[in-house]
Structure 1
Amino acid sequence: MNMKSASAYENLKHHTVAHSSDAISIIILLYERIFDHLKIGKFSLENEQYAIEAFTKAHDLIQQGLLACLDHESGGEVAKNLKVIYEWSLSEIIIARNTRSPQKIQDVLDVLTPLYEAWMSLASREPTSAFPSISQGEQVRTVAV
């Protein structure tokens, strides 16, 4: 690995760290990054800026993260309903960008927040924490979002 690649890899570690491949913690992490990008985008719209990058990242995280991980076979009606909500969110983000509407972004945040809170509640009920502690010297898996 050349120095440039090594440096880029090292920088990725500082973006987001997922302590395990635990599905609940990954979903929670996705929601948190989506919220971060939507809030940045909303702030930008309120200040008459475009925020293309923030909305693109939020859109990609919903589409390639939340939508892509739905298990329609075992998820049944819940997966079907989440798909509708996530697709609605994607549509609202696009409309908000085109119309420069911070309120549309707030609407998306308002709809996704209770889902995030439900995932957080599930994480707290796990017999072992969804966010395991890392002992010194233990490796940490890095995921950039």
Structure 2
Amino acid sequence: MITARQKAAYGRGASAYARVGVESGALSASPHQLIVMLFDGALAAIRKARIHLEQGHLAEKGLAISKALDIVNQGLMAALDQEKGGEVAERLASLYDYIARQLVAANLHNDGQRLEESERLLEELAGAWREIGTPPQGGAS
């Protein structure tokens, strides 16, 4: 029989293993892959927030939304190169700002629709970003 102490140790070990996997992936990732990882992290946090909202776990919902906000503001927004990116970077900055405001409002008002809109927008951007990094199929003509 597994004791509570063993379960806790296993949980800590599994958590540490997952962190090492993410850190190793980040260290070996290209800049493009890092952006994809940021999108994936933000989307996962928003999905968690929606589940917590539906289950009435408001503190956990707030933590998940805070994580998504950090990724959008400190990751995606910070990765924009306004100088080289020009108008595209400017438009992405506006969109990230809008998404961040929607997440804040979703948190303040327990608004699932705003969470869904943020998720939809990030999913569209993530899909476009993934396609940019996909090598063309077939051989050279």
Indicate the TM-score class for this superposition, using the shorter chain for normalisation: 0.7 to 0.9
Match for 1:18 among 16, 22, 26? 26
Partners of 2:33 and 2:86 lie apart in 1 by 21
Task: Give the unaligned 5+ runs of structure 1.
Answer: 1-6, 127-145
**How many equivalent residue pairs?**
120
Partners of 2:121 and 2:18 lie apart in 1 by 33
Map of 1:30 onto structure 2: 38
Q: Which of the pair has the greater relative contact order for Cα pairs under 8 Å at 6+ separation?
A: 1
Partners of 2:56 and 2:40 lie apart in 1 by 24
- Structure 2 CA distance for partners of 1:118 and 1:99, relative to 1, 3 Å: same
1:62-141 aligned within 5 A? 62-125=72-135
Partners of 2:130 and 2:113 lie apart in 1 by 25
Partners of 1:73 and 1:43 lie apart in 2 by 39
Residue 125 of structure 1 aligns to a residue whose secondary structure is coil
Deviation of 1:52 (Å): 1.6
Deviation of 1:110 (Å): 1.0
Please tell me the root mean square deviation across aligned C-alpha atoms, in Å: 2.0
Runs of 4+ in 1 over 3 A off after TM superposition: 7-11
Q: Percent identity?
A: 25
Task: Give the unaligned 5+ runs of structure 2.
Answer: 1-12, 137-141
Higher helix share: 2
Deviation of 1:122 (Å): 1.1
What TM-score results when the alignment is normalised by the length of structure 1? 0.75
